[in-house]
Structure formats: structure tokens, C-alpha cells
Chain A
């Protein structure tokens, strides 16, 4: 099995009481004076909430920023697709919210596998995010009195979620994009769109630049800077089908892992309970139905197996099932939180009912999300005002009208809590290399609460990194700009071109997508919602086989030094294969259930996740050991000083 080392991992958490740590840090950190900022270059890779907010804020401070993204415009980063909302501890509803409660809910929601100090800081800066966005002109939903409206999300008993219709991510990203555009106009940020980072360049152990491929010309280019920030999003697409955008990938995480950055908690992935079920073989992605729908929608399956069977074969319609014959299983099992239990709990409960034979839809892999009560109670127009665009989206895809018949939903992979390991300053284990947003592992432990990813991305980019990176750059003010002719750049570029040549030369028989689908099926069956030792071991052997097939039989048409969408996909799939392996390996080592990680061997009598705090209260940090070598497992111990660690209970 994995080699484990006991090297101490230092997260650089400031001293002092929980509520004082961030203030203490800011009071004592080093800063860069305005004249010196102009002489310092920072590369920011990614223009999602995390990348765009960081690039804009660094530009405003006076740094010289180079900002990269894959899409044709920064505004199209995957963050644009977030629907439901963003959390903040404003307590505008006077319902008992506070920074501490947001912190506590996040720690508990993460099943006690996140760092206290980071999460507290996140809750602390959450309020400034809302202020910032409103000032940018983000049109959040408002009440008739003119003040901001809130809704509830899973895992919380207060209403702290701010939203802009069902398009919160879009509006927040357009806000960050507007701030970024302003800096582009001022000349402090230079944009590189349709560029894909393919490696980081290290000089004397520090991150000093990147190698990127111009996706239009296919040419490989070099970029130098004093520090590199990556905010490239999550790796959920390792599963092929997910709620992520088609271009979302984990490649930068793998590139920097291979250069020495630790990959933390890879097995912590979130399966979202409310997605539109799979329809057929040619399906390319899964569409999320926002969690906010669980505010008013009730989840059920038939109580009787005969009814479920009749529905599957088209003999009965859901509206024909009498109220008494419906099993509102979340309300039954979790009376305190009901339909608003956290995502991992809701997903597993849906799988349990479907596996037991109560599933609906033609495949039996679906449950109902029913709005009939809400429509009766609130009226159709109120429901339409709250969820209209989501209902429309559903109808266009499924060709069913959710105002008249319940929606069908099923869990799908959605978010990755694991990611690049970072310390309190968001610095990776490589000096001068920072990681923000979904790409890092920092704040959500083993399970992320709804509406907290947007909060984290913007917290990292607007309010954390612009401070912490100065603590590093303050020591770099005498470092002149680097030439990209240095041997380190030449070497890194050569490695990248060699890899592309190797891929182009295979000229095998299988398409990139067909291999990606194979990987996805293995991931879903064995590294998905229910995991066990035998299955994970099988996954490891199967992934190795697919990897071999990939590197010997993939076919990529066209040229390497030209626009080539198949090559783009192939480079990403090669990295998903590495991630799949890491996820399975990490899941195998973590012999407990926590949050989104459910090991079937470790559950309570009632089928709930069973943690083993004595043995597993740590962050697993994987260190690359070389091609075809088993990576080393390092552990960052988690110390809960300010919260009492408990078994989660949503009953």
C-alpha cells in the first residue's frame, strides 16, 4: 500500500483566538509599497470567480497581472453556471445568524475534516463579499422594502443565502468580470483568452512562470512572473458525466502535483442530489437543478414497489399515486432538516431508495421532486418568480412540465472538495505558487454546503490572496523580471512539446471521448456514492488498464501545432486518468465514512456515515514520487480547538 511519511506539514496558522487570527495576520504581514508593485508580475490562471476577482484586485493594487483562460472570454468560466446562491453571515433576517454560526455550520457540514482557522476567516469575510458585489451593480433579489432578500440552503437552519434569480453565479461572475475589464482598460491586467496552461516553470524551487498553448494557433508559449496563482476549478469531469462545463478539468492540479505540490483529499467529491437523470448513451453532461428547489419542493418515491414498477413501465403517472402511498423519505428519516439535509445525505438516501427497488423513470434511477404543495400554498406565480428559469430549463431538456407533474432527479457528480493543498496563505507546497477557488482543498472538508463555493471563490480572490501574496512578494522586490530564454523555460517547454508529440504519434483506434467514458463508468461504479475495499482495488486495476489503452491506442486527428480540439481533450483526459487513480487510492486509505466519502464498511446501524476520528482526523496530502511509482501519503493533522467534534446529526 501507500508509503506514509510522518513529515510534519505546517499550515502556517496564525496564533491567537479563532476570531483574532486573521486580524493578527493582517496586522503583522509584510506589504509591498506602491512603487514596487509595478515592478512585480503575477500570473493568474483562471477567470472564474476566484481567478477574476484575484486578477482584478491585484491589478487595482498596482501589480502587473497576466490572466489566462481556456474560453474565448473570461466571462464564460464555469462559475457562470452556478444557480442557487451565495452565503454570508449578514443576519439581515434577524434569525440568529452570525459569523460563528456560519463557521460552525461549514465545519459541521464538512464533517469535521476542514481547518478551523481557514473556515473562520471565510465566514468573517463573507459579509464584505456581499457589499462588494452590490457596489459593482450585481442585481441581487430584493424585497418590496428595497432590502436584500435571502433564501435557505441545505445544512443550515437560518436564511443566509443571497441570490439573483436562478443565475447567481452568472451575476457574481459578471461583477468580477466587470472589475477585471476595468483593469484591462487601465493596462494593469493583460488577458490571454483561448490559452491553456500546460506546465508551471520553477526556478530554484520557486514558481516563476508557465508554459501555455495558444488554442487558436496551437503554438506553445512561455510566460514569466514573480508568482503564479492558479484558480482553474474542480476535477469532477474525471467522471465524464458531471454537472461541470465541458472544458472543466483538473490538469493544472496534476501538472503542479508532478512538480511537487501536494494533492489533498482527492477522494472528497460531492455528488449533488438534484440533477436531471441520465437519458442515454450519447449524453455529454448532466444538468443540475439548483438545491434551492429543495426549499419548496418535496422529494418522494412510491411507498409500494408495485407502484414504482408500474411507473417505470409507463402504466402509472406520478400524479396518480395517492398521498398516502408516497414516501417522503427525507422528511421521514430526518424530521429536523427534512428536504434540506446536506447534499451527501440526500444523495445517499436517493440511491438507497432506488437500489431497494423504489426508483422511478424508465431506468429506475430517479426520484421525484414535487412542487404541487408549494404551488397550492404559494400560488403558481410565486413559484414561477422563484424558480421560473429552472423550470423552463427542465422542460426544454425533459419535455415535461414541472408545474403539472413532479420533476425527476437523480444524484450526479458536482463538485470536488479535494484539490491542491494550500496553507493558510493559500500558498501550495511550492513557494510562489498559490491556489484559489474550487481548485484548492481548503475550506469544505469532506462535504461542501450549498452556496459556499461562490463564497469561497470570491473570499479567496477579493479578500484573502491580495493580502497573503504580498507577504511573499515583499521579499521579491529586488528580483528583476525573468527572461523566458532561461534553461528552465526551455526545458519545461520541451517536456510539454514532447508530450504532445507522443500523443499525436499514437495514431491508434479509439477516440478520446470513448476512453474518457470508460474511465467515467469505472469512477461512477466504484469511486462514486458507495465505495468499498474490493471495488476501489478493482478501480485501481481498471484505471491502470485504461491508462495503458489510452497511451497506446488513442487516435487524435490533425496536427499538434494547430487548432485541435481533440488534442485539447486528450491532454485533459490523460490527467483525469491520474486523478482517477489518486481518488481511488485516497478513498482506499481513508477507512472511514465522512461527508461525501462513504465507505460501505463504515456505517451506523441506520446506514449513516461513520467517522473514525481517532485515526482519520487528518488531511491526506499526496506527494508525487515519479512516473509509475506509488505516491507518498503525508498527513496534516487537524486540531479542533474551538469546536466540539461530534457525529453529524440532521434528525
Chain B
């Protein structure tokens, strides 16, 4: 049955990348515990706009945990307190009546703030552009079943490929490293015969791009894996390191 709660919100507001930001506090009543976290923010924004104010800006789109657009640091956790989900999948039943909820943007050198809770993650696209693909053109491809692939390998590749590019791993990391994200793509392709051909070169150019864009070094704290909404395993980083060494060796 439907239950409602009242909550206090402490939300980071910032006009632009260079502007000085600050927390603002808000109060919301009658929040259904069946509502999603973003529906709660919609309620807040309706309230703000209804009283002539500008809404809190945040990124979101699919609202079902797959596009990777939503972000938010909620009570000290990227994507909030629940496990294995994105912010858009978080529901208000995870919060108590009267609770104060603190909401911040991803804070990381690699992701400058655009406004309020919205950040710029184009650095991830640049890393993929540096080599996160198999270099083939459209057409003239052999039959899909020409090369059998073991189910175990295919499933492992699928697990790595589940990364939604949200950036929670970077936000969670005290070094601001993008290793989990990079290793997920490198692993997916290295595990498949189609991607194996370029595996070493790919690892090298993606890591170089990551460094160039100012992401930090990986010191194996494991924070990324713990906060990743898609359970991307830190073993992928080990695989990336192997591919990277192989590339060095070839040089």
C-alpha cells in the first residue's frame, strides 16, 4: 500500500563550471515511497518552477538504468545507498521519514560541472574514440557463425560490455581514475576473436588518451567496483594491465 514521507534535501547548486557553488536546502512533503528518486526530484522541480524559480538541473533520460545518463552523489555514494542500481532505479522506500538527503554532482577532475548536478562526461567518448572498437567497415563481413566462440568467453565479454559509461567509478575513486571504465571495453573486445586482433594496440591508445585527459592513476582501492551499478569486475583491470604490458613488449 502507498506510504508517504517528508524529507529534507541538501542540494549542490552551481551556475557554471567556473562559478562558485553552494548547498541549498529544500523541504518536500507527501513523497510516495513508491516514487523513484528522480520522480522525487521532479516533484521538487515542479514546486520550484511553480513558485517562479529555476529548477535543479540534473542529467537523466531512460529512467530504467541503462542509458548511463543519470548520475548524482547521494549521501556520499554515487547512485545512492542501494546496491547494483543507478540513481534512476533508486526508490524512495530506501529513505526514512524526516531524513535529510544530501545530493551532489560527480566531483572529478575529468568531469567538469556544467550546472548544478549536471557534469561533462565527453572525456569518456574521447577515450572510446581513441581505440574502443574493431576496425572494420560496414559490409563484406563473413557469416556470423563462421567463428564459434565459447559460451563462457561470450558471457564474460557480455558482462564487461554491460558498462553504461555513467562515470560512477571515476566519481568514487579518490584518484579520479577511469581504469574500470577503460578496462571494461578493453576486456570485452579482448575476449572475443573479432577484437583480439587489435587488443594490445587498443589497450595502449585508450590508456594514453585516459592519461592525457587528466584522469588519475589506479592504486587498486576497489572503490570503483563497489560503487559500479553494473557490477563491472575489477578483474577487468588486471586484464587491461596484461594487454597493456603486451603492447609495451611489442614496442
Interface residues of A (CB under 8 A from B): 53, 56-57, 60, 71-76, 78, 80-81, 90, 92, 128, 130-137, 139-148, 164-165, 167, 169-171, 174, 177-179, 181-182, 184-185, 191, 193, 216, 245-247, 279-280, 282-285, 287-288, 314, 362, 392-393, 396-397, 399, 462-463, 466, 511, 513-514, 555, 557-558, 563, 565-566
Contact = CB atoms under 8 A, between A and B. Distances in A.
Given A81-B62, A142-B154, A282-B43, A185 B130 contact: yes
Given A177-B128, A182-B135, A137 B194 contact: yes
A71 B69 contact: yes
11 contacts: A74-B125, A135-B194, A139-B154, A141-B154, A146-B149, A170-B66, A182-B133, A184-B125, A245-B62, A462-B139, A557-B54
Nearest to B148: A146
Interface stretch (B5-13, B83-91, B100-108): B83-91
B244 interface: no
3 closest residue pairs by CB, A with B: A146-B148, A178-B133, A139-B158
Contacts of A174: 161
Given A139-B158, A178-B133, A557 B52 contact: yes
A131 B154 contact: no
Interface string B12-54: 0000000000000000000010111011101100101110111
Interface in B43-102: 43, 46, 48-50, 52-55, 57, 59-69, 82, 84-85, 89, 91, 93
Contacts of A282: 32, 35, 39-40, 42-43
A57 B136 CA distance: 11
A227 B68 CA distance: 31
A80 B144 contact: no
Given A245-B63, A247-B61, A399-B93, A280 B115 contact: no
Contacts of A169: 66
Question: Does more than half of chain B's interface fall in helix, strand or loop, or is it mixed?
Answer: loop
Contacts, number: 220
Interface centre among A169, A245, A282, A288 (most CB of B within 10 A): A282
Contacts of B142: 131, 135
B134 interface: yes
Contacts of A148: 144-145
Contacts of B154: 139-142
A643 B158 CA distance: 40
Interface residues of B, number: 78
Nearest to A129: B144
Given A139-B161, A177-B128, A555-B52, A284 B36 contact: yes
Contacts of A145: 148
Contacts of A280: 2, 32, 34-35
A194 B124 CA distance: 15
A132 B145 contact: no
A424 B46 CA distance: 45
Interface centre among B46, B64, B130 (most CB of A within 10 A): B64
A131 B143 contact: yes
Given A170-B164, A179-B136, A282-B39, 11 more contacts: A71-B61, A73-B122, A90-B145, A137-B133, A137-B194, A245-B62, A282-B40, A393-B89, A463-B138, A514-B46, A565-B55
Contacts of B124: 73
B61 A246 contact: yes
B132 A181 contact: yes
A123 to B, nearest CB: 16
Nearest to A145: B148
Contacts of A60: 137-138
Contacts of B67: 71, 76, 78, 80-81, 245
Given A81-B64, A137-B195, A72 B35 contact: no
Interface string B106-131: 00000000110000111011001111
B247 interface: no
B216 interface: no
A563 B145 CA distance: 48
Contacts of A563: 57, 114-115
A182 B157 CA distance: 20
B129 A399 contact: no
A135 B134 contact: yes
Contact of B133 (A90, A181, A462, A513): A181
A82 B132 CA distance: 22
A527 B127 CA distance: 46
Contacts of A393: 64-65, 89
Contact of B188 (A71, A137, A558): A137
Interface string B171-200: 000000000000000001100101100000
Nearest to A135: B141
A87 to B, nearest CB: 14
B208 to A, nearest CB: 13
Contacts of B32: 279-280, 282
Contact of B114 (A141, A146, A216): A216
A72 B120 contact: yes
Contacts of A466: 138
